Amino acid sequence: MSIHPTAIIEEGAQLGAGCVIHPYAVIRRHSILGPGVVVHPFAVVGGDPQYLQFDPATVSQVRIGEGTVLREQVTVNRSIHAGRETVVGARCFLMAGSHVGHDCVLGDQVVLANNAMAAGHVEIGSHTFVGGGAGLHQFIRLGEGVMVGGLTRLTKDVAPFLLVAERDEVPGFNLVGLKRRGFSREAIRELKSCFTRVFADGDPRVPAGVMLAAGVQSPEARRFLEFFTAGKRGFARPERTSATDET
């Protein structure tokens, strides 16, 4: 473990083996850092949530997964609820100036580019990339493997494996991400079929439920369809009903 003398680590914070805490980083007492976490200068982990009705006496936490890197001036706020956690998964990369609001849950290997902002209660699936300056509205969900363009404004849920840009606009699938993760041609073909049927018309929950009941071949297609069974903010969707090969 390496801790610079000017770093601030409050009593009660928990640091795993091999953590590196750079100069002027702040680790509040509400923080739990897994092994090998790296925190760069002026980042603040476990700070109070930005919530006007919050009682600072509330006992809540932030949990950072193994091998995650927090670059300069990253902020990760603790939960507003007693006994709950804001969670950043393993091997994530939060670039300079990015923000994770209270009660967010980030999966493993999530990347937030510079100045990306996740408001409270946002869920981000594993292997998702959020571009620089993107803003994520509170309570939205991003499925696994999503690619969010820089400066995107998201107010709706984004299903797994999709590209999303501008304001809740879906150009198509994140095919580069699918191929890099080794998805088979058969799985990608089935995902495209599900994409076309789900977004053909009306509420995507209905065709998603029908396809789930009928059965699908690949676990990737099942995860894509199951995403539509939850959520309260509606879904980002394409203007056209056919999947594209854009990356």
Domain ranges of the chain: 2-155
113-135: pLDDT as tens digits? 999 999 999 999 999 999 999 99
User: In which order are the strands placed within the sheet that holds 111-112?
Assistant: 2-3, 20-21, 38-39, 69-70, 93-94, 111-112, 129-130, 147-148, 162-165, 169-173
Q: Per the residue annotation, which of 22, 40, 46, 103 is the catalytic one? A: 103
Distance of alpha carbon 89 from alpha carbon 106, whole angstroms = 6
102 catalytic? Reply is yes
pLDDT at 242 over 90: no
120 catalytic? Reply is yes
108 catalytic? Reply is no
186-230: pLDDT as tens digits? 999 999 999 999 999 899 999 999 999 999 999 999 999 999 999
Distance of alpha carbon 129 from alpha carbon 99, whole angstroms = 14
Q: Per the residue annotation, which of 47, 97, 120, 143 is the catalytic one? A: 120
* Average predicted confidence (pLDDT) for the chain: 95
Q: Per the residue annotation, which of 30, 40, 99, 102 is the catalytic one? A: 102
* Fold of the domain built from segment(s) 2-155: UDP N-Acetylglucosamine Acyltransferase; domain 1 (2.160.10)
